[in-house]
A and B are shown apart, each in its own frame.
Chain A
Amino acid sequence: MVKKLIKGNIALCEGALAAGLDAYFGYPITPQNEVPAYMSNKMVSLGKVFVQAESELAAANMVLGACATGKRSMTSSSSPGISLKQEAISYMAGMEIPGVIVNVQRGGPGLGNIAGSQADYFQAVKGGGHGDYRLIVFAPNCAQEMYEITYEAFDIAEKYRNPVMILCDGIIGQMMEPVEFNKEQKSSFSKKDWCLDGCKGREPRSVKSLLMKDGALEQHNLDLQKKYETIKNNEAKAELYHIEDAEIIIVSFGISSRISKNAIKQAREKGIKAGLIRPITLWPFPSEIIKKYAKPGIKFLSVELSLGQMIEDVKLAVNGVSSVDFLGRAGGGIVSDKEVLNKITELKK
């Protein structure tokens, strides 16, 4: 199959289009501007919906509305814009509305800068909005995965009636790589028994998160937790690289997993048995996989473009059986393969 050289952000758009996207709602912010620009052309040409919203708040709430009617809809933004989308994300989680939200992360906190970053891990995985809820969070690490994961994201969101976040970074979004468009075109519409499509021949439906009756909200939360348990059991995904004989195991996602792989190759050339567990889903976190490899004497190393966020989940998974070290950079700084190699060498001593 022919490959096309495109940016990660464009691969993401193509994945969504192949999945049968009905509506895209966006707002300009670097480094995700390719997405609304590309969608403004494609969606309108295909006779589908594109709206440049007045804010990230509005864009996310437009997704909420479109998805409440069973349509496939997404929005994309970068870190400061994702903070604004948290309101709608919490509502969507409570209302059990599927939808896809993309965060092409940049440096923070605040306005930060426009360099790639992974510092929104906590926000994505631990719940950036209010209430007891979970997002399904994917972390693609190349343009091909931007295409494939986005393609699958809509099905998973609808399967569980839960919002899905694609957490990538400015580097994956901007980098050009060959992508194979290997997915079949899907059409969005499948009849759903919960969505709002007019009450013709049935009782009216209401999609909402306000539950004021005594005990109703607690029961709703318990039901959500049950769903989250199912997702935990079914959807945790990780890539394993040189893991079977590894004495030093790096845990890393997104762009930093690519850098870590380079360092592992170099370490292996020097005779150091290093390997990688790359979470593809950040929630559910692949804790069981990590747990399997946590043994006395094995050293874990969390490599992130933050000052230590995912490491908390790595430590919980390892549960004291192995040591867990950290290497990271902040505010748009990039860890080099040499720095990772030095850290591996240091741990080997």
Chain B
Amino acid sequence: MNKILSKPEALKDNPLSYCPGCGHGIIHRLIAEAIDELGIRERTIAVAPVGCAVFAYDYFNFDTTEAPHGRPPAVATGIKRTNPDKIVFTYQGDGDLAAIGTAETIHCANRGENITVIFVNNANYGMTGGQMAPTTLIGQVTETTPFGRDPLREGYPVKVSELLANLDGTKYIERVTVFDAPHVIQAKKAIKKAFQNQVEGKGYSFIEVISHCPVDWGKTPLESVKWVEEVFLKTFPLGVIKDTTK
């Protein structure tokens, strides 16, 4: 019998600390597979955020560092500019990337840094117990929107991918999700392309992954999957938002 699938070399053996049913584990694996397939593990440097993925360095089997909350794009800029031969990516959640790190996100994208950004959008602050994020949906109940997000009080969900697509510095932006197998396959393709772009020096690539967060959403994993499909994706539709790399 032949073994046809193994754990990627770019992932360590450590057990994940994520909640049951969480999407981060899938996304970590897709990144690790893409890095292995491109043969870039030994020259990759990752920047972990403040948020659920802060422990990414316990799981990724390559060089990693951390950044203060929201600053991964600045830290990645410092790494990539001084080490253009390395493959540099940030892994950030919606609070990190779209609230406290908005300025860093926009200006890093606008400078067209030749890096890859993996943006995990699960519509709430997972690490701190499920508060409203910039991407929380209208009407969504969170720890800090107990009456549901009201646009008159809390504003509207920020569509970062569409926002960044307006900047000339961004080259490839796609929104994907990981709630079922076909979507996981598409997400893998997008993530791999985002790294491939960097290898080829094509510039800034940004992948927004719509992810599920059953524990903080107060849903079972199956209910979460259904909610992503029927509600979440209505506000954040999937697809290639920008691609000037062809």
Chain B CB count within 10 A is highest, among A65, A73, A210, for A65
- B77 x A62 contact (CB < 8 A): yes
- A62 x B75 contact (CB < 8 A): yes
Nearest chain B CB to A85's CB is how many angstroms away? 11
Residues from chain B with Cβ under 8 Å of A23 in the complex = 78, 81-82
- A71 x B82 contact (CB < 8 A): yes
A348 to B136, CA, bound (A): 70
- A61 x B75 contact (CB < 8 A): yes
Indicate if A16 sits at the interface (CB-CB under 8 A).
no
A72 to B118, CA, bound (A): 28
Nearest chain A CB to B47's CB is how many angstroms away? 7
Indicate if A322 sits at the interface (CB-CB under 8 A).
no
Indicate if B196 sits at the interface (CB-CB under 8 A).
no
- In chain B, positions 193-228 with a C-beta closer than 8 Å to chain A are none
Residues from chain B with Cβ under 8 Å of A67 in the complex = 78
- A54 x B68 contact (CB < 8 A): no
B43, B65, B78, B86: the one within 8 Å of A63 (CB): B78
- B74 x A62 contact (CB < 8 A): yes
Indicate if A198 sits at the interface (CB-CB under 8 A).
yes
- B71 x A198 contact (CB < 8 A): no
- B79 x A68 contact (CB < 8 A): yes
> Which one of B26-34, B53-61, B142-150 is at the interface?
B53-61
A61 to B62, CA, bound (A): 21
- A65 x B77 contact (CB < 8 A): yes
Residues from chain B with Cβ under 8 Å of A91 in the complex = 66-68
Nearest chain B CB to A46's CB is how many angstroms away? 13
> Which one of A32-40, A178-186, A200-208, A257-265 is at the interface?
A200-208
With A61-B75, A198-B44 already in contact, the answer to whether A204 and B82 are too (CB < 8 A) is no
Residues from chain B with Cβ under 8 Å of A224 in the complex = none
Indicate if B154 sits at the interface (CB-CB under 8 A).
no
Indicate if A25 sits at the interface (CB-CB under 8 A).
yes
A207 to B78, CA, bound (A): 14
Nearest chain A CB to B11's CB is how many angstroms away? 11
- A88 x B81 contact (CB < 8 A): no
A155 to B98, CA, bound (A): 38
Residues from chain A with Cβ under 8 Å of B132 in the complex = none
Residues from chain B with Cβ under 8 Å of A25 in the complex = 78
Nearest chain A CB to B159's CB is how many angstroms away? 21
Residues from chain A with Cβ under 8 Å of B41 in the complex = 199
Residues from chain B with Cβ under 8 Å of A53 in the complex = 74, 107
- In chain B, positions 67-122 with a C-beta closer than 8 Å to chain A are 67-68, 71, 73-79, 81-83, 86, 103-104, 106-107, 111
- B57 x A66 contact (CB < 8 A): no
A 148-176 binary contact with B (CB < 8 Å = 1; else 0): 00000000000000000000000000000
Nearest chain A CB to B60's CB is how many angstroms away? 7
A87 to B76, CA, bound (A): 16
- A198 x B42 contact (CB < 8 A): yes
Residues from chain B with Cβ under 8 Å of A223 in the complex = none
When A and B form their complex, what is the total count of cross-chain residue pairs whose Cβ atoms lie within 8 Å? 130
Nearest to A54 among chain B residues (CB) is B107
A73 to B80, CA, bound (A): 13
Residues from chain A with Cβ under 8 Å of B86 in the complex = 69, 197-198
- B42 x A200 contact (CB < 8 A): yes
Residues from chain A with Cβ under 8 Å of B82 in the complex = 22-23, 49, 65-66, 69, 71, 73
B42, B43, B66, B78: the one within 8 Å of A208 (CB): B66
Interface of A is mostly: mixed
Chain B's interface size range is 35 or more
A 210-241 binary contact with B (CB < 8 Å = 1; else 0): 10000000000000000000000000000000
With A65-B65, A87-B68 already in contact, the answer to whether A58 and B79 are too (CB < 8 A) is no
- In chain A, positions 25-48 with a C-beta closer than 8 Å to chain B are 25
- A206 x B63 contact (CB < 8 A): yes
Residues from chain A with Cβ under 8 Å of B107 in the complex = 53-54, 58
Indicate if A64 sits at the interface (CB-CB under 8 A).
yes
With A49-B82, A69-B45, A208-B57 already in contact, the answer to whether A196 and B71 are too (CB < 8 A) is no
Nearest chain A CB to B65's CB is how many angstroms away? 5
- A196 x B63 contact (CB < 8 A): yes
Nearest chain A CB to B100's CB is how many angstroms away? 10
Indicate if B186 sits at the interface (CB-CB under 8 A).
no
Residues from chain A with Cβ under 8 Å of B54 in the complex = 210
A73 to B66, CA, bound (A): 18
A208 to B54, CA, bound (A): 10
Chain A CB count within 10 A is highest, among B42, B60, B77, for B77
- B78 x A204 contact (CB < 8 A): no
State the A residues within 8 Å of B (CB). 22-23, 25, 49, 51, 53-55, 57-59, 61-69, 71, 73, 87-88, 91, 95, 196-201, 204-210
Could you list 29 A-B pairs, sorted by A, with CB under 8 Å?
A22-B82, A51-B77, A54-B107, A55-B103, A57-B103, A58-B103, A62-B74, A62-B75, A64-B78, A65-B67, A65-B74, A65-B75, A65-B82, A66-B82, A68-B65, A68-B75, A69-B45, A71-B83, A73-B82, A87-B68, A88-B71, A197-B83, A204-B61, A204-B64, A205-B64, A207-B64, A208-B48, A208-B66, A210-B55
Other CB < 8 Å A-B pairs besides A62-B81, A68-B65, 17 of them?
A55-B103, A61-B67, A61-B74, A62-B78, A64-B71, A65-B65, A66-B79, A73-B82, A91-B67, A196-B65, A198-B43, A198-B63, A199-B41, A206-B65, A207-B64, A208-B65, A208-B66
Of all A-B residue pairs in the complex, the 8 with the closest CB atoms, nearest first, are A65-B78, A61-B74, A62-B78, A65-B75, A54-B107, A66-B78, A200-B42, A58-B74
